Amino acid sequence: MSLTLRPYQHQAISELRASYREGARAPLLVLPTGAGKTVVFSAVSAGAAARGRHVLILVHRRELITQASAKLAGAGVDHGIIAAGFPASDQPVQVASVQTLARRLSSISWSPDLIVIDEAHHAVAGTWSAALSRWPNAYRLGVTATPVRQDGRGLGAVFDSLVLGPSVSELIAGTFLTPARIYAPPPIADLAGLKARAGDYRPEEAAERMDRPIVTGDAISHYQRLCNHKRAIVFCCSTQHADSVNTAFNQRGVRAATLLGTTPADQRDHLVRQLAAGELSVLVTVDVVSEGFDCPAAEAAILLRPTQSLGLYLQQVGRVLRPADGKDAALILDHVGNVHRHGFPDDLRDWSLDDRLKRSRNAGPPAPCVRTCEVCFAAFAPAPICPCCGTPAKLSAREIRQRDGELQELARDAVARSRRRDVGRARTLAELLMVAKNRGYSPGWAYRIHNARSNRR
């Protein structure tokens, strides 16, 4: 086997094994974008195949088949592919496009012992459940960077336990990911009142607000000021929006191209190579590069699509966190308030298999604590000075309360409580007059309380 695993990938695999030993049948492994989940599930599949098991690996996009297939080949695992244009074969490991598999279900005569589900946050959709319910007794292994559905519902219907890999901040500390500098200039677009459908803003409505020359022009100015000539990926709301943004970049002398769902595979590869080589500075996309897109050379993400989906946000910014030579930090230019909505890419997340929607309806999601520097627009966690330009930060009243801490709050509470107690203990007018004297209140205060109590009796 020639797959080289990183220490945390070994660790994840041994934790998965432990969870199966403890009785899990369908664990969901959470690995941040860029942590190499394809390598991990390829190694698991290789191990299962070596013990004579049948493994079915489900992916939901064609380009993910190529990735998985290449990693399996690297691990020396002979495998077949179930996708349009590939002949059926009988190897014990099969990589399947979920759409093709759903169409061919009735013609498949073998049963997998293990079903691996890549990008497992999609696994509750109709095509997936058809494939999964065909083999209810197979063990499952889900892998995802964001174990929530786009609509916020949990994945507890498909998986029975969570195995958490390293966090983004641990991967940054280990130099497996690049730290990010985030700029969040006040959005020029009017995003108030955007409506959501299935847990996210309606793309056409978001596009209408974002696809305006003044908004695009502002984003390009910030790009030229903050990261001119750096390789960037721009995330737009719609194909038409991407076309306008692409045109505007080129008109301003920045070499840009669009990379869309309809872009043929060979042209995609060509564009990615051009970006890596510096022949292009900017790739403009909608969501084709959100998942399964590898371009470590990309140094900046420009966010022009407001999203309520934490998963989509993390997938997008995750594209530029991959380390590469000469890249000391990734830049994220957020023009749509996503950082304020979802927090920093390396914030610790409290993942769960439960429906987040239910929880957030009651409690509301915790608002991330993000400050924006008034001078350079850097977004940072509350700190006395801007970490980018050193400007002293003006703290909001809420942040001052948070910074000076619970202690002061508690102290105030304790004083208030003890005061209520000594007023409560003062039974007679004479005792109330004594409390008033001790606190420097007027005698009238004692009379008012005494009268109020007499009236109540």
> For the window 368-387, what string marks contact with Zn ion as x by the rule CB under 5 A?
-----x-xx-x-------x-
- Choice between 391 and 442, CB closer to Zn ion: 391
Q: Which of 389, 411, 415, 416 binds Zn ion (CB under 5 A)?
A: 389
Instruction: Give the DSSP letter of residue 393.
Output: P
- Choice between 339 and 378, CB closer to Zn ion: 378
Distance of closest approach, residue 374 Cβ to Zn ion, in angstroms = 8
List binders of Zn ion among 423-442 (CB under 5 A).
Answer: none
Q: How far apart are CA 182 and CA 173, in angstroms?
A: 18
397 burial type by CB count under 10 A (0-12 exposed, 13-18 middle, 19+ buried): exposed
- Choice between 194 and 388, CB closer to Zn ion: 388
Closest listed residue to residue 251, CA positions, set 272, 278, 282: 282
Q: How far apart are CA 86 and CA 89, in angstroms?
A: 9
Vertex 264 angle, CA 260 and 267, to 5° = 90
List binders of Zn ion among 4-23 (CB under 5 A).
Answer: none
Distance of closest approach, residue 387 Cβ to Zn ion, in angstroms = 8
391 is an interface residue for Zn ion by CB under 5 A: yes
Q: Where are the alpha helices (DSSP H) in 144-232?
A: 168-173, 203-210, 213-227
- Choice between 148 and 330, CB closer to Zn ion: 330
Q: Please answer whether residues 12 and 163 qualify as being in contact, where contact means their C-beta atoms are separated by less than 8 angstroms.
A: yes
Distance of closest approach, residue 127 Cβ to Zn ion, in angstroms = 47
Distance of closest approach, residue 386 Cβ to Zn ion, in angstroms = 3
393 is an interface residue for Zn ion by CB under 5 A: no
Q: Please answer whether residues 350 and 154 qualify as being in contact, where contact means their C-beta atoms are separated by less than 8 angstroms.
A: no
186 is an interface residue for Zn ion by CB under 5 A: no
Q: Quick count: other Cβ atoms within 10 Å of Cβ 239? A: 15
- Choice between 168 and 182, CB closer to Zn ion: 182
Q: Please answer whether residues 67 and 292 qualify as being in contact, where contact means their C-beta atoms are separated by less than 8 angstroms.
A: yes
- Choice between 74 and 382, CB closer to Zn ion: 382
Q: How many residues bind Zn ion (CB under 5 A)?
A: 8
Distance of closest approach, residue 372 Cβ to Zn ion, in angstroms = 9
- Choice between 93 and 331, CB closer to Zn ion: 331
Strands across the sheet containing 93-97: 80-82, 93-97, 55-59, 114-117, 139-144, 27-30, 161-164
Distance of closest approach, residue 384 Cβ to Zn ion, in angstroms = 12
- Choice between 164 and 388, CB closer to Zn ion: 388
Distance of closest approach, residue 385 Cβ to Zn ion, in angstroms = 8
Vertex 319 angle, CA 151 and 126, to 5° = 30
Q: Please answer whether residues 455 and 437 qualify as being in contact, where contact means their C-beta atoms are separated by less than 8 angstroms.
A: no
Stretch of residues binding Zn ion (CB under 5 A), selected from 105-113, 114-122, 176-184, 366-374: 366-374
Residue 307 Rama label (left phi>0; alpha psi -120 to 50; beta): beta
Distance of closest approach, residue 391 Cβ to Zn ion, in angstroms = 5
Task: Please report, as ranges, the residues that interact with Zn ion according to CB under 5 A.
Answer: 373, 375-376, 378, 386, 388-389, 391
